Structure 1
Amino acid sequence: MAEGISSFWGPVTSTTEWCEQNYVYSSYIAEFFNTFSNIPGILLALIGLVNAFRQRFEKRFTVLHISNMILAIGSMLFHATLQRLQQQGDETPMVWEMLLYIYILYSPDWHYRSTMPTFLFLYGAAFAIVHSQVRFGIGFKLHYVLLCLLCIPRMYKYYMHTEDRSAKQLAKLYLVTLLLGSLCWLCDRLFCKDISHWCFNPQGHALWHLFMGFNSYFANTFLMFCRAQQRGWDPKVVHFMEFFPYVKIQKPKAQ
């Protein structure tokens, strides 16, 4: 904790702290950079949400973009307070979001359509209840990584079955941001003692937030493209101001 600044939220009660000195800039914000680095993720999710509404994509993508926003807001609250309750408000939406990705990725080939959303909903509810009572440590991280690994093979399958170059580029950007973000996360965790002696903290966990904000956007946009192809909506990846990618579709008049 920085000298001369007291904590508005009281002692740290979360099971995890990150490699950023607490309460340096404000008594209301424990980890300044880790808190505000979530803002790009919120803005990117909002852009995706507007596009999903504007082009009348399925509700699953509306829920997905909203879940990205909720996750980023929960992360902001957690890093601002470092309290146990806010930690749950960060970690539980992380699991819910991955369950939603699993549904979007696997549901097109699932023959018993009611069983998958029912199971995933009950699983997410059960996890939330257990997580509210049990302090997870490394177990939560392993559980989250397992859910992520369940998504990657399916993303690879979609990539292999997509011929559009722009859509493939989205998938590549998804992979690059995932790897860079994971590298920043690992360095922040593994080398924190060394970093604390540096004259400059590279803020690895804040960079993780930044990369994962873009990662979620690229993943969502790629999945929207793939789903539009499945529905026969003639999707195209276009770029706003020749830079920012989004999916544009042309639905048949009957739809």
Structure 2
Amino acid sequence: MLTSAIAFVSQGFWMLMLFDCIRNEPKGSNWMWLLIMLNFPGAVIYFVARKLPYLNLPVPSFFKRWTMKDALWNAEAGVVNIGKSHQYVTLGNVLMEMDNVDRALEAYRSAIEKEPGNTHALWGCATIEMQRQNFAAARTSLEDLLDRDSEYKRGEASLLYGKCLYELQQWSVAKEHLDFDVKRWSHSESFLLLAKIALDRDGDKVAAKSYLTTMLARLKASPRYNYRKNRDLIRSAENLLKTLN
């Protein structure tokens, strides 16, 4: 009975990976031959190499606390022994990794008190406030950050600022910034937000469709790993396009 159940599950897993390979891998890919020749072991290899990196599976908090206890110990020691803005940012980063956002926010704010222009601390505060949907506070931190470093994290701060303006329904300012963002950084999510603004503010289906088709065309022309990484975003754009056609 147990043997039959294991065989059924392993065969189902193999078929699932085979279907994923047919749908997502380019023609002529060696992955298909690997799956056919090795069956279940090939499916495991395919899952680890091709699926797992894009799943972003959540790590349990207790596991993070256990694996990062030494990092937390060192970060807390740095705050006590040195206590400069850098040490508080390091502590905040460790606490963020451990999902302790309340203490992380305190650490980032302490870093800003020590050094008001600390871009890493401003970024930490902004990301936490965005998670909490405290968009006004996030906007303040992001504007200060971008005034000091407009290219922070290779444009990630620019994208987050556009998302913040969108959530605040500051349509004109958001559109102006997102237009700049797509020209400077070509963020796919900025195209999607511009399409939504065109619909929500102006009811302009033609402009919305143009943003979406441009976004999808650029993603399809990008490296395969980037296309797979943005699959959820692609699905959202395709669903929105269906409502416009």
More helix by share: 2
Is the shorter-chain TM-score for this pair beyond 0.5, marking a shared fold?
A: no
- TM-score where L is the length of structure 2: 0.28
- TM-score where L is the length of structure 1: 0.27
Which entry has the higher C-alpha Rg, 1 or 2? 2
